[in-house]
Amino acid sequence: MNQTAMQQAMLVEFAVREAGPRGSLEMMQAICYCIRNRVRGGWYDGSWLANIEHADEVRANEPPERVRLDEHDRNLQKMLQCVDDIWYGQRTEAQPHDGSLESSLAKAMHWAFLDRPLTPFGKEMLSHPVNYAVKCQMGTMIFV
C-alpha cells in the first residue's frame, strides 16, 4: 500500500462515518468533494492527510451515531470505487456548470445536516449567511 491509497481509504472512512448510519452514497461523495475543495484551497498546506485529520474541527453537526463499517455494504463498496474520481478530478472553475454533484459543490468547503444537532461552529455558520452562503442543498444537507 502506498500513502495515496492509505489517505484515500481514510477519506472514504471519514465520509461514511460522517454521513451517518442512514447516509446515502451521494452524501458521502459530497463530503469527500468538500474535503477535496479544502485541499485545493490550500487548507493545511494542501495536505490530504491533515485535512482529513482536522475535518472534525470545523464540523457543523455533533458527531453522528457511530457507523460500523461492513465490507458488504454497497455504499461503502461504491465509495471505494469512485474515490479515485473525486481525488484526481480534473474539473476546473473555467468549465461550465453541468449539473453534476462535482460541479454543484465546486466551491463548497463545509456541510451541515439541518436535521441533526449543531455544534457552535454550525450555529455560527447558519447564523451568518453572508460569510457562509449556501452553494447547494441535498435534502436536509446544505453545503457552504
Containing domain of residue 31, as a range?
Answer: 3-143
Greatest alpha-carbon span in the chain = 43
Beta bridge partners of 111: 143
| pLDDT at residue 69 in the model | 95
pLDDT tens-digit map of 69-114: 999 999 999 999 999 999 998 655 545 567 789 989 989 999 999 9
Instruction: Please provide the average confidence, as pLDDT, over all residues in the chain.
Output: 93
Number of domains in the chain: 1
Residue 135 pLDDT greater than 50, yes or no: yes
| pLDDT at residue 100 in the model | 86
